[in-house]
Amino acid sequence: MLIRTKPALTESDVTDKSLYLNRRAFMRGAAQVSLAGLVGMSASPAQAARENDSVRAWRKELQPKLDSLRPWAGSTGEEQTPLQDVKRYNNFYEFGTDKGDPAEEAHQLTISPWTVRVDGEVGKPADYALEDLIQPHSLQERIYRLRCVEAWSMVIPWVGVPLADLIKRFEPTSKARYVRFETLVRPEEMPGQKALFSSVDWPYHEGLRMDEAMHPLTFMAVGLYGDILPNQNGAPFRLVVPWKYGFKSIKSIVRISFLEQQPTTTWSLIAPEEYGFYANVNPDVDHPRWSQKTERRLPGGLFGPKRIDTTPFNGYGEEVASLYAGMNPRSLF
């Protein structure tokens, strides 16, 4: 991995304000020095006080499995992003468009009880309680790289189960060629859904081809850093697809649908020339308004951002490139 000695400040450091949803990628933190590594991982008393009863109930439900986490041999050995940076720097427009909005607003989200509807081309459609979905499975910790389309990145130790293990239980039919995911709509707890000028037609929705969903790397996370997911990171149940740009890894999922036809997705509807269905990380295909050849690895250093080269499929090409054999790589944005 190449670490540049001089900061290469480009348009990716400050996202164009004209981007839909007023996406201000680096207004908070582009020049900040992260002190999270000095703080430690435990929640402060003030943070703990902001946890609502549903968060505490879900932690209690999941704690026995958290206590017996199994490591995963395929985890990256790169330095992990400090927990406080992971919690404070987020895109989760249901709570606001600034990076700090989710940490400020998401504490009010009720995450237990939580129900996931499974429907479409499956043999076992139902409304599943999240604890019933997780109960048969041991939790794994997988340390993945996360690459945002805005050209910043993190390394995060996720906790969860392979999506394929869940899909098999639903018994998809031979017609199920795609999987569609849908996020919670609850404007009384998610103030971004009440924004007057939002371009999103809620709920946020994303999709994968069935072979992508069944790939061993595709992960359903219920936690990070050995604890439950913070609300602002997609609690209690989110998708993680490490070879794709981060907007594909949809948060706070309440519905999983199995479809015969390719589903529409939120960002490809809003800006189809900028955000395609596949969204595979590709340094050779730039965003229309900035380069994707490098990324800013969080947290930044004392004297500026830590810029590194972006790799195809976010470094997971050996595992996933075969999924796209015969396809034009430039069409997989």
Q: What percent of the chain shows pLDDT beyond 70?
A: 85
Residues contacting residue 255 through CB under 8 Å, at least 6 positions apart: 116, 117, 118, 119, 180, 181, 182
Between 45 and 327, the higher pLDDT residue: 327
Q: What sign has the CA pseudo-torsion 68, 69, 72, 75?
A: negative
Determine the Cα–Cα distance for residues 191 and 95; give it in Å rounded to an integer.
5
pLDDT (0 to 100) of residue 46: 52
Our measurement of the distance from residue 188's CA atom to the centroid of its chain's CA atoms, rounded to an integer in Å, reads 23
pLDDT, tens only, 121-139: 999 999 999 999 999 999 9
Amino acid identity at 152: W
Average pLDDT over residues 236-257: 98
**DSSP H stretches of helix in the chain:** 36-39, 45-50, 53-66, 83-88, 101-105, 130-134, 163-170, 210-213, 266-270, 317-320
Average pLDDT over residues 215-234: 98
Q: What percent of the chain shows pLDDT beyond 90?
A: 79
Determine the Cα–Cα distance for residues 25 and 246; give it in Å rounded to an integer.
13
* Band (119; pLDDT cuts 50, 70, 90): very high
17 has pLDDT over 50: no
* Band (195; pLDDT cuts 50, 70, 90): confident
Contact 198, 93 (CB under 8 A): yes
pLDDT (0 to 100) of residue 179: 98
* Band (330; pLDDT cuts 50, 70, 90): confident
Hey, where are the domains in the chain?
11-331
295 has pLDDT over 50: yes
Determine the Cα–Cα distance for residues 255 and 281; give it in Å rounded to an integer.
26
pLDDT, tens only, 152-178: 999 999 999 999 999 999 999 999 999
85, 284, 262, 160 alpha-carbon torsion, rounded to 10°: -30
Average pLDDT over residues 188-210: 94
25 has pLDDT over 50: no
CATH of domain 11-331: 3.90.420.10
pLDDT, tens only, 44-98: 455 556 789 999 999 999 999 999 999 999 999 999 999 999 999 999 999 999 9
Average pLDDT over residues 31-47: 39
pLDDT (0 to 100) of residue 47: 53
Mean pLDDT of the chain: 87
pLDDT (0 to 100) of residue 333: 80
203 has pLDDT over 90: yes
Q: Which of 156, 54, 57 is nearest to 106 (CA)?
A: 54
Between 187 and 8, the higher pLDDT residue: 187
Between 238 and 28, the higher pLDDT residue: 238
Strand 294-301, strand 152-162: pairing: parallel
331 has pLDDT over 90: no
